[in-house]
Amino acid sequence: MTQAHGDVDKCIKLYNEASYQQAFEPCNSAAENGHAQAQTILGEFYDDQGEVEKARFWWEQASSSGYLPARNLLAQKHYYGGSVLGKEKGWQQSYSKAMSIWKEDAFMGVATAQFMVGEMYLTGKGMEPNLAEGWAWMKLASNNGYKLADDLLYEFKHQITAAQHEAAVLKLKEYEKIIKGRNSE
């Protein structure tokens, strides 16, 4: 077993055991060797310490390799301007950055991203509400097993007009084709 592989295993094991201080060095070593999960964990360590630039750096490294958990963390930080608990120093709320990340992932078939894109369209976060777009994305998330999407679809069913629903169904079919095409590559 190579040192890099050993660091990855040690990083993940210690992190999963909540032995964060012991996990830092192997995670740092694995992150520097390009391991996306270790980069994400290292970003979380820095974020917990309020070292936003270091957290962002490591999450962007992991995101650039397509690592979905890091991409989702970055999208969440942009969406909230921090965390679900509130704004955090060093993070700026940017619905457009969050949407950009989540929409890219949504087209890859990621249900949580589809849900967030749908939620942003339905509620008008960073844009005018668009019930047809929101419904289409929520339906995709629901079809992918994201149960909370069912709740929002139910909530909005009385707000969407017949014409909007018709447009939403067309969008849904269009997006399903795009996702199927990307997933078959």
**Cβ atoms of residues 131 and 159 within 8 Å:** yes
Q: Which of 82, 22, 75 is nearest to 48 (CA)?
A: 82
Residue 17 neighbours by CB distance under 10 Å? 10
Q: Which two tokens stand for residue 24?
A: 């830092």
Residuewise pLDDT in 10s, the chain (185 residues): 455 568 999 999 999 999 999 999 999 999 999 999 999 999 999 999 999 999 999 999 999 999 999 999 999 999 999 999 999 999 999 999 999 999 999 999 999 999 999 999 999 999 999 999 999 999 999 999 999 999 999 988 889 999 999 999 999 999 999 999 988 76
Query: How many Å apart are CA 142 and CA 114, to the nearest integer?
Result: 9
Residue 147 neighbours by CB distance under 10 Å? 10
